[in-house]
Amino acid sequence: MQPSDIDLLGRVALGFALAFAIGFERELRGSSAGGRTFSLIGTAAAAVAAVTGKSSPQALAGIITGVGLIGGGLILKGRDDIVPGITTAAAVFAVAAVGLVVGLGHFGLGLVLGLLTLLIFVLRYVPTSGCSTPVHTPASSAATKIRRLDDPPQRGPQLAMRCLA
């Protein structure tokens, strides 16, 4: 039985919503890819998966290949063997997976996968209890500064607050 257009639209909409939430979080942290990029990837992956379904595994493999190319473009080797963008590239892959899972009709699994991906990023910025001695560390070795929505995007070295353990 073919899914109805309403069902397909629901799959694509859920793929968009989950991808946008993850992209919005990345954008707040000053990532090179944000809400628009993540939304496009998640929506496209959900749409392709919803339309082709299980009848064309090659189409699903094509999404993974395309996401690999996008991820490769986000990773640039930096100084001191630091690889900026690798987390964003991994997040792009995760968002494509969310889109594919939702597009295939596994809403619960897609929702859990999307929330777990978002949780991975958010937990890093949750303050620990009893943090009385903050330490400034370079952003390359610590979390980037939490930005307000009206702050302009920043590139380059930033300082982050960490607690002494």
Euclidean distance between CA atoms 9 and 3, whole angstroms: 10
Cβ–Cβ under 8 Å, residues 150 and 163: no
Question: Are 38 and 71 spatial neighbours (Cβ–Cβ below 8 Å)?
Answer: no
Q: What is the pTM of this model?
A: 0.67
Block residue for tokens 């919803």: 50
pLDDT tens string, the chain, 165 residues long: the values are 788 889 999 999 999 999 999 999 888 888 878 888 889 999 999 999 998 887 888 888 888 888 888 877 777 655 666 677 778 888 888 999 999 999 999 999 999 999 999 888 888 777 766 555 444 444 444 444 444 444 555 544 444 444 444
